[in-house]
Chain A
Amino acid sequence: MSGRREPREGRFWKDNSLTLAFGGAFLVVLAGQALAGHAGFNEDLAVDGMQQLTIGEYLMSSDFAVDVTENWQSEFLQFFLYIFGTVWLLQRGSPESKELHKAGPESDQEQRVGDHARADSPRWAGTKDWRQRLYSRSLGTAMALLFVLSWLAQSIAGTAAYNEQRLRELLPPVSWSSYLASADFWDRSLQNWQSELLAVAAMAILSVYLRQRGSPESKPVGASHTSTGVEG
């Protein structure tokens, strides 16, 4: 590529600040969720006259696991849908969309695969077999896989947490397959999905008219509202 080269020497923390900051914040917030969830769960146990849990016991409980995984699955679903959806779906004027004439998987030349791969292209991009096809969809596939695993984890932890609650109420436990058809499972899933879809729709349309100076998620402040696929 012509143009300016990325600075090659940089400090580790600065070079990876985006991942590190969000990864660190994730751990802090997860710890906060654990503390709040522990207190709430123990309040419920106290009302029912049951033994309260230590924080360590709560971290190993199905109640904590289902609360964590129900949010994880929706986040991975959001990114999976967004990555695959933006191959074909467009939003005029949005930096989240590609240019309007580029809908679809694009040509090999535009994607720099096969004979069009360059010296610095990832190795599998330069192949012409299943490796290129797999690598060409690896980001979306990884998100899809993480979504499926997280949703499966939610369903299993959810069955255990739901049954523990049912036993406290002198109700018989249900099977995993029955839980998949339960209101609890779908309430937990759909309440997360709707919020993720709202956030994506809001980002796609608000970024047409609003700007965030210096953010690659926004167009340049002076870019017109109609320019599409331009990142600042």
Chain B
Amino acid sequence: MDGRKRTFATLTASAVVATLLCGCGAPAARVDGARQAGLAFEQALADADYARACTLIAPQTREELEENENKPCGPALEGQALSAADGVPDTQVYGRQALLRLPTDILFLSQFADGWKVTAAGCAPQAGEPYRCSVKGG
């Protein structure tokens, strides 16, 4: 009986530790993926290649942008006058969501089947409230 109790305790403790380790932190690959997607978006803005930047925007955000501006994504994005940023962003990733803080822009991203996509751009913090973003989903 003592052996069985020990086995039960060991198995349960192992399960708890496994739970601790899984799904809670962001692996380096995921952080890097979010960072690269954000930087690619900023580079497309810097190159004024809005068609390329639009391929890096999440579907719902893109639809919202096109509906609000009543234009295709490229011209609609150009009209937002987003300032392109460079440098190494401060990247925070939780699960499939990420926040990138660049010197002159803040981006929110989400992981999709075909990679990380920008869900909000041109964001600025507001005390106690969600970030105010020039481009965002519904």
Which A residues are within 8 Å of any B CB, using their own CB? 19, 48-51, 53, 60-65, 68-69, 72, 122, 139, 142, 145-146, 149-150, 152-153, 156-157, 159-161, 163-164, 167-173
Contacts and interface: CB of A to CB of B under 8 A. Distances in A.
A62 B94 contact: yes
24 contacts: A49-B138, A51-B96, A51-B113, A60-B22, A60-B23, A62-B95, A65-B23, A65-B24, A69-B16, A72-B16, A149-B17, A149-B20, A157-B19, A157-B24, A160-B24, A160-B95, A163-B92, A163-B94, A164-B95, A167-B108, A170-B130, A170-B136, A173-B92, A173-B94
Given A51-B113, A62-B24, A146-B13, 4 more contacts: A19-B4, A157-B19, A168-B110, A171-B131
A170 B108 contact: yes
B89 interface: no
Contacts of A149: 13, 16-17, 20
Given A62-B95, A160-B25, A153 B19 contact: yes
A167 B137 CA distance: 13
A108 B113 CA distance: 65
Nearest to B110: A50
B100 to A, nearest CB: 11
B16 A63 contact: no
Contact of A156 (B24, B60, B98, B99): B24
Interface in B1-42: 2, 4-5, 8-9, 12-13, 16-17, 19-20, 22-25
A137 to B, nearest CB: 14
Contact of B23 (A48, A160, A172): A160
